[in-house]
Amino acid sequence: MTATHNTTTLPFTGKTAFVTGGSRGIGAAIVRRLARQGAHVVFTYQNSGSDAEALAASVRAAGGQAHAVKADAADAQALSAAVAEAARVTGKLDILVNNAGIFLPGAIDDFSLADFDKTLAVNVRAVFVAIKAAVPLMPSGGRIINIGSTNAHRMPFAGAAAYAMSKSALSGLVQGLSRDLGPRGITINNVEPGPVATDMNPPTGDFADLMHGLMALPRHGTGEEIAGMVAYLASEEAAFVTGAGLKIDGGFAA
């Protein structure tokens, strides 16, 4: 008997996914990956409208389904409306990926309260807002995945305390919410990357070299590598993983 392989049904066929900050970097790789595996992906952007529309068009040209929505993650009303819009077609939302994030550097003496508030608004409050909007739309089997950071566990440089704090906050959030959502069959986890080559974190230069010196695998990761872990957590195979932080950091925090 030969093994059969069903090539017509992809893992996320019939599923709707919502990704924040999908226009560039890690978020764009996640949009491409989920769409390639059959999901209908709605994703947000803040400023990069043309990148977002180009990404959605390229997914559709490849036979997938993607749709870009402008929504500032710091604007709770806009973000909640975008989540609702994502569920409009199918009436449900199966996968939520909270990826939008910012890194505002600065040592304590110079770091403004405005930058502190902005960091928390995008990296933490928006995650809570999107989850609150998504959960009523999520059936059993729903998946929530936040892009945290290995910096929740190790921050070996000065001038990044607010960012590290914002990513640590997500650890507590998923532990607590795993208890709220477990009885509803919904899992929630953090993917915690180390250095990944994006606009936020260029893979060459003195600072890149410094980071590589701290790593077991001395290189930046790729958005596609992060998207692979997101796809795993979104899959049926990961049904027993919840309340967890999964590091994918080349040994940065080892």
Round to whole Å and give the CA distance between 12 and 148: 23
Round to whole Å and give the CA distance between 174 and 190: 7
Q: Is 232 a catalytic residue?
A: no
**Contact region with ligand NAP (CB under 6 A), list: 1-9, 66-74, 153-161, 235-243:** 66-74
DSSP state of 251: T
Round to whole Å and give the CA distance between 105 and 159: 6
Does the footprint of ligand NAP cover residue 245 (CB under 6 A)? Answer: no
Cβ contact 20:79 at 8 Å: yes
The one among 73, 131, 155, 234 contacting ligand NAP by CB under 6 A: 73
The one among 41, 135, 190, 193 contacting ligand NAP by CB under 6 A: 193
Task: Report the nearest approach of ligand NAP to the CB of residue 121 (Å).
Answer: 8
Tokens matching residue 6: 């069903």
Closer residue to ligand NAP, CB minimum distance, 47 or 90: 47
Site for ligand NAP in 90-129 (CB under 6 A): 99-102, 122
Does the footprint of ligand NAP cover residue 37 (CB under 6 A)? Answer: no
Q: Which of 220, 112, 121 is nearest to 169 (CA)?
A: 121
The one among 15, 19, 32, 45 contacting ligand NAP by CB under 6 A: 45
The one among 15, 17, 19, 21 contacting ligand NAP by CB under 6 A: 21
Round to whole Å and give the CA distance between 5 and 142: 25
Round to whole Å and give the CA distance between 108 and 98: 27
| Bridge partners, residue 146, by sequence | 98, 190
Using CB under 6 A, list all residues that contact ligand NAP.
20-27, 44-48, 72-74, 99-102, 122, 147, 149, 193, 195-196, 198-201
Residues serving a catalytic function are: 163
